[in-house]
Structure 1
C-alpha cells in the first residue's frame, strides 16, 4: 500500500446536462468537506444501474485502478472514452459521482492550454504564480527559474504578458513549470500535441528522466501510440467510460490495435463522441463513378457551434481535400442539423476526380474553435481505379482538389 501513488476505487462520473452540482448549497458543502477529509462523497449512490438519459451522461463507470510510485502510465482510448475525465478526477478539478480516489503526493497537471495562467502577467510572473499554487516556496522557485525558462525555449518572451503567447508557447511554459517543480505526480493530457515535434520529443524525454531518476509518477494521454510506447511502461485502456484492460504498455497497445485495426472497412456503427454529440453510423457506398457517404449522428447538447466536415487523405496520409456541410447548406438547414436529436446526412462524391489509388476519410465533427469530438482514428477506406486519366495518386506530394460537393439532408 505504501508504494501506491494513486488508488482509484469504483469511481464513476455522471454529468447532468443543464443541472449544476448536487442541487443544494448544503449538499455541495457536505461533498466538499468529505473530499477534503479524503472520505467518499456522502451523496454518491452505490449499486445504481448506469443509464444515459436525455438529461444525463456517464463519462466513467465503475473504474478501479492502482498506480504505483514511479510508474509511467499511458491512458489509451478513443475520443469520449473517459480519458480526460479520469485525469480531471485525479487532479481534483472535478469530483467523482461515485467512488473514492486516494492520492499520495502533490499533483501537477497539464490538461488544457494556459490552465492556471493569469493572462495579464508575464511568463516569469506566471512561473511564480503556478509554483505558489503547487505549494512551492519562493526561494525554491528562485533556484529553478533559470532551468524552467531555458527548458521552455521562450527566453526572449519570458517578460512579455502571456496573453500575447501562441498556444505552443503556452504549452512550452506550462509543461516546463509542471515538470521542474517538486510534485510527486505529473499529469499530461493530449495538450502536448499543440507543441512542435521537437518539443514533444523533449517533453517525453523529460518525463522519462523525472520518472526513472526521481521516482515520480507520470500519467500521460495521447492518441500517438509511438509517443505512448516511448514514454510509458504501464498502460490503461478505457472504452465508453469503462476500464477494459491494464498492465504492460506493449500488451495494452497490442490489444488496442487489435480492436482498432480495421484498415479495409467501408462502414462503421457504434457510439463515437461525447456528451455533446455522438456519431452512430457511417457508410461508404461505391457505385460506378459516384461514392455515397451516409452519416447518422445524434445531438445531445444543442445550441453549440458545431462543425461537420469530412477530410480526404491519400495512401501516404496527405490530406487532399475536405468538405463541410456548412459551406453548401442554408443557415436554416444548418441550424436544424445542430438541433437536439437524430440526424442523417448524405454526401455524393464524384470519384472520377480522384486519381487511381487508395484513400480514406476522417470525420471532423467538432465544436468550432474548441475541440474535435470524433476521433481521427475512426476512418473509412475506399479505392479508385480511374480509367479516364490513368493517373496514380502521388504518395509524396499534396494532390489538392476542390470539387463541387453535393450534400443531402435525409432527416
Structure 2
C-alpha cells in the first residue's frame, strides 16, 4: 500500500486580469451569483475575457509533486511564486484550472489571520464549529477541548466573541484548533509570524510532535532558518513553476544564493492584485552616495525604497529587515512618522523612504535586505512584501575584531560598550 497522502499532477491555475478586481477567495454565495448572472447573460463572460485590456495570468503552471505520510514539507519562493495559490487549492478554497489533486485524510488549514473563525461566535463556539467542519463529532472535540485551550492560553476570553481578540490571541487559538483536532494533513502559512517568539517556538514544537504521530505538515515561511528547522523536504516555486524540490538543506542553500540580486538597484515586478501600496524600486547606497553592494564596515550606508500609494490608506507601516546569508534575521526597522509614532496616513502619489544604517554596526559578512508594507489595527494585515531582494557584503577595513579570522563566533553586530575596572586586591 502506498504511503502517498498528496499527489499533485500537472496542476495549473489561471486568472484573468482586467478591469474587474480579482477576488482572493470564491465563496459559495459568489459562485451562485456568478452562475445566475451567466444564465441571464450567456455572453457576459465571453465578452469580459475578450476585452482588449484583459490578460491571462498563470499563477501555477504544470506543477507536479508527491508528499508521503509524515512528511514535513516547506514551500518557498519569492512574491508571485504561487505559494499562496497552491495552499488555497490544497485547502479547497479555490479550484484549479487544470490538473488533478489526490489527498487522503482530513485537512486543517491556517492560511491567514481572520480566516476559519466566525467573528460573532465565541472562542468556545469556534472550537466546536471548526471541529465539525473537520468532520469530528462533539465527543471527539470535547476530548481535545482542554488541551486546545491550554495551548492557546485564552482561558479568560473563551466566552468572548473572537472579533474582540487581538491578532496574537486569534492566531494562538486558530493554530491550537488546527493542530489539535487530529487532521491527517496540516497546512500552515506565514501567519505564525504574528505571534511572539515564544509562541512560534511552541508551534514549531507542536508541528514536530504532530509529524511524529504520522501526520503530514505543509509549511510556508519566508524565514529560511525556520523552514530548515522544521522541514526535511522543500519545494521551491518561481513564477508558478517548480524550480527544485528535494532535501531541505540542499534546496535552501541554492535558494539563498540565487534568490537575491547582487545588483545595488532592483526594479520590482508588480503583483497580480493591485494593492494600496506598490513598491517600485530599492536602492543600496554607500557612504559616498554611490549604488554599491560592497560596503565599508567603518562607514554608514543607506537604503532607499521607492513606492506608489495607489489609493488613500490609513495607519500603514513600512519595515526593512536585514538578514544574514543563512537567513537569520539581524534586525528590523519600522518607518516611523514623528506625528503618529509608527502609523502613517498616506494619500495617493509617488514616495521615497530612506533609512541610514550606522557605521561599525554590522559585523563583516554577507547579508540580504527584505521589506514590507502592512497595517496593524485589530489584526495584522500584510499589504506587500519582498524578501531577500538585495544581497550585499560588509567588508572588513580595519576594526578591533580584524585579528579574529572567524567572525561567525563573535556575533552579527559590532558594539562598543563601556567597560569599567578597579583593582580589588593587592
Indicate whether the TM-score tops 0.5. yes
- Is 1:317 the equivalent of 2:330? yes
What does residue 211 of structure 1 align with?
211
Q: Is the 8 A contact 2:312 2:348 kept in 1?
A: no
- CA offsets, 1:311-369, max 9 Å, x none? 48699934467378xx9xxxxx95244xxxxxxx66678x7x94455598956453655
Of 379, 385, 402, 1:374 maps to 385
Change (3 A) 1:14 1:154: same
Which is further off, 168-177 or 314-323? Answer: 314-323
Q: Is the 8 A contact 2:362 2:414 kept in 1?
A: no
- The CA distance in 1 between the partners of 2:123 and 2:347, in whole Å, is 41
Change (3 A) 1:115 1:287: closer
Corresponding residue SS for 1:174: helix
What does residue 163 of structure 1 align with?
163
- Is 1:101 the equivalent of 2:101? yes
- The CA distance in 2 between the partners of 1:254 and 1:28, in whole Å, is 49
- The CA distance in 1 between the partners of 2:235 and 2:116, in whole Å, is 27
Change (3 A) 1:272 1:225: farther
What does residue 48 of structure 1 align with?
none
Q: Which runs of 5+ in 2 are unaligned?
A: 40-44, 46-52, 291-300, 341-345, 397-411, 417-426
| Aligned-residue offset at 1:267 | 2.3
Change (3 A) 1:367 1:13: farther
Corresponding residue SS for 2:236: strand
- Is 1:335 the equivalent of 2:357? no
Q: Is the 8 A contact 1:305 1:368 kept in 2?
A: no
What does residue 276 of structure 1 align with?
274
Q: Is the 8 A contact 2:260 2:390 kept in 1?
A: no
Change (3 A) 1:183 1:295: closer
What does residue 188 of structure 1 align with?
188
| Aligned-residue offset at 1:232 | 1.1
RMSD: 4.1
- The CA distance in 2 between the partners of 1:70 and 1:314, in whole Å, is 31
TM-score (norm 1): 0.71
Q: How does 1:10-25 map to 2 (within 5 A)?
A: 10-17=10-17, 18=20, 25=35
Q: Which runs of 5+ in 1 are unaligned?
A: 30-42, 44-52, 328-332, 338-344, 386-392, 398-411
TM-score (norm 2): 0.69
What does residue 295 of structure 2 align with?
none
- The CA distance in 1 between the partners of 2:212 and 2:110, in whole Å, is 20
What does residue 122 of structure 1 align with?
122
Corresponding residue SS for 2:66: strand
What does residue 153 of structure 1 align with?
153
| Aligned-residue offset at 1:105 | 1.1
Change (3 A) 1:154 1:312: closer
What does residue 176 of structure 1 align with?
176
- CA offsets, 1:217-251, max 9 Å, x none? 11001111222122112110011221111111111
Corresponding residue SS for 1:136: coil
What does residue 89 of structure 2 align with?
89
- CA offsets, 1:57-105, max 9 Å, x none? 3221221111111111011112221111110000000111222211111
Corresponding residue SS for 1:80: coil
Q: Is the 8 A contact 1:286 1:292 kept in 2?
A: yes
Q: Is the 8 A contact 2:73 2:219 kept in 1?
A: yes
What does residue 401 of structure 1 align with?
none
Corresponding residue SS for 1:75: strand
- The CA distance in 2 between the partners of 1:304 and 1:242, in whole Å, is 34
What does residue 342 of structure 1 align with?
none
- The CA distance in 2 between the partners of 1:139 and 1:244, in whole Å, is 45
Q: Is the 8 A contact 2:319 2:332 kept in 1?
A: no
- The CA distance in 2 between the partners of 1:319 and 1:294, in whole Å, is 15
| Aligned-residue offset at 1:203 | 1.1
